[in-house]
Structure 1
Amino acid sequence: MNTPARSHPETAPRPRRRRRDLRTTLVAVLVATVAVVCLAVGIVTHASLRTQLDAELDAQLHRAADRAVDRVQHAAPDGGPAGAPEPLPSPPSDGTSTPEPESGEFELTAHGEDEELLKAVWRDPEGTVHALSAEDVTVLEEALDERGDGPPTTAPLSIGTYRVVARDLGDGTLVVTGLPTDRMRSTLLRLDLTLLGAGAAALVVTGIGGSSIIRRTLRPLDGVAQLASEVARTPLEHGSVSLERRVPAAHTVPGTEVGDVGRALNHLLDNVEGAIEVRQHSEEAMRRFIADASHELRTPLTAIRGYAEMLRLTEDLGERGLQSIDRLEVQSARMTALVEDLLLLTRLDEHEPRPEEDVDLGEIVMESVMDARAAGGDHPVDVRVPDDPVVVPGDPRQLTQILVNLLSNARKHTPAGTGIDVRLREADGRAELVVADAGPGIDPGLVPEVFSRFTRADRARSGAEGTTGLGLSIARAITEAHGGTIDLASRPGRTVFTVSLPLVGA
Structure 2
Amino acid sequence: MQSRRKLRFRLVVSFALFGFGLSALFALAALNIRTRVEDQLVNSSLMDDARWANQQAHDHPGAPSGSRLLTGTVLSDRTLYKAPLSWQNLSTGVHDIYETDGDGQRHHYKLAVFRENGIISFLRYDVTREELGKQQLLFSVIGAVFLFGLLSLVLGLWLSRKVLKPVSELARRLRDFRKNGKAEPLAPHFADDEVGELALALDEYSSRLTAMVERDREFNSDVSHELRTPLAVIASTTELLQGSPDLTDKLRERLKRIERSSRQATELIEALLLLSRAERRGPTRGETTDVAKVASDVIESQRPQMRDKPLDIELVVKQGVSVNAPASVLAVALTNLIGNAIKYTLEGMVTVEVRGDRIEVIDTGPGIKPEDAERLFQRGVRGEGAGGSGAGLGLAIVRRLCDLYGWEVSMRPRSETNGAIASLVFS
TM-score clears 0.5: yes
Aligned positions of 1:9-408 closer than 5 A:
23=8, 26-27=11-12, 29-54=14-39, 57=42, 61=46, 107-112=72-77, 115-117=78-80, 119-120=82-83, 132=84, 134=85, 136-138=86-88, 141-144=89-92, 153-159=94-100, 160-166=107-113, 172-214=118-160, 216-218=162-164, 220-221=166-167, 244-245=182-183, 248-249=186-187, 252-256=190-194, 258-307=195-244, 309-312=245-248, 326=250, 328-345=251-268, 349=273, 354-357=284-287, 378-379=311-312, 385=318, 392-393=323-324, 403=334, 406-408=337-339
Counterpart Cα distance in 1 of 2:50 and 2:173: 80
The aligned amino acid for 1:158 is E
Structure 2 unaligned regions, length at least 5: 101-106, 275-280
Shift of 1:274: 0.3
Which protein has the larger Cα radius of gyration, Structure 1 or Structure 2? 1
2:413–2:421 CA contact under 8 A, matched in 1: no
CA pair 101-379 structure 1, distance change in 2 beyond 3 A: farther
CA pair 174-100 structure 1, distance change in 2 beyond 3 A: closer
CA pair 268-367 structure 1, distance change in 2 beyond 3 A: closer
Deviations 1:72-131 (A, max 9, x none): 99xxx8xxxxxxxxxxxxx99xxxxx98999xx77344223xx133644xxxxxxxxxxx
Deviations 1:136-163 (A, max 9, x none): 224xx3242xxxxxxx613223344322
Counterpart Cα distance in 1 of 2:167 and 2:217: 31
CA pair 187-421 structure 1, distance change in 2 beyond 3 A: farther
Counterpart Cα distance in 2 of 1:70 and 1:214: 68
Shift of 1:187: 2.0
Shift of 1:178: 0.7
Counterpart Cα distance in 1 of 2:328 and 2:13: 64
TM-score (norm 2): 0.68
**RMSD over aligned Cα atoms:** 5.3
The aligned amino acid for 1:153 is V
Q: Are 1:439 and 2:387 matched, yes or no?
A: no
The aligned amino acid for 1:413 is Y
Counterpart Cα distance in 2 of 1:368 and 1:303: 21
Shift of 1:341: 2.7
Shift of 1:166: 3.8
Deviations 1:411-457 (A, max 9, x none): 243222155463634xxxxx343434453468998743479xxxxx5
2:294–2:330 CA contact under 8 A, matched in 1: no
Residue 174 of structure 1 aligns to a residue whose secondary structure is strand
TM-score (norm 1): 0.59
CA pair 198-72 structure 1, distance change in 2 beyond 3 A: same
Structure 1 unaligned regions, length at least 5: 1-15, 78-90, 93-97, 121-131, 145-151, 235-241, 313-324, 426-430, 452-456, 463-468
| Structure having the larger proportion of residues in helix | 2
Match of 2:347 among 400, 404, 416: 416
CA pair 179-448 structure 1, distance change in 2 beyond 3 A: same
Q: Are 1:501 and 2:407 matched, yes or no?
A: no
CA pair 67-201 structure 1, distance change in 2 beyond 3 A: same
